[in-house]
Structure 1
Amino acid sequence: MIYRIFSRCLTIMLLLISFVASAQQQNTETGPVNELFRSNGKIYVIVGILVIIFLGIVLFLVNLDRKIKKLEDRER
C-alpha cells in the first residue's frame, strides 16, 4: 500500500520536474565554457570522470546491498 503511494508520488514529481526543466531550457551550445572544453577535448575528460564516479556509486550500493543481505540472513 505504502509502496504504491510512494511510487505514484515519485512518478508525478519526476513528470513535474521534467516539465519545469524543459521550460527552463537554454541554448548552451555556444557558451564560452563549452567552447573551451570542446576546443581542447576536455569535455571527454569530464564525461569520463562522471562515468567513473557514477560507476563507483553503483558498485558501492551493490556491495552495501550484499552486506545487508548477509546480515539479514544471519538474523534468521
Structure 2
Amino acid sequence: MNAVYAFIEAGKTTHPVALLCRLLKVARSSFYGWMAGEQARAARRREFLRAAESGDRRPPPARPDHCPR
C-alpha cells in the first residue's frame, strides 16, 4: 500500500488528491494518515541521527502511541 500512497504523493502536484484516491480506490483519510505517519517517522529519524552525531547514547524518546498504560 505504501507504493500507492507514494504514487499519490508524487502525483498530487499535477492532479487533485481526491481524484487520485478515487481512481486508485483509496480513502483520502488513509492517504493523509499515511502522510502524517511519514512526517512523524522522518522527525524521529532526524532526532535519532542528530543524537548519534552528537555522541548521545541514550535511546530516542518513546513513541507516544506506544506508552505503557
Q: Which has the larger radius of gyration?
A: 1
More helix by share: 1
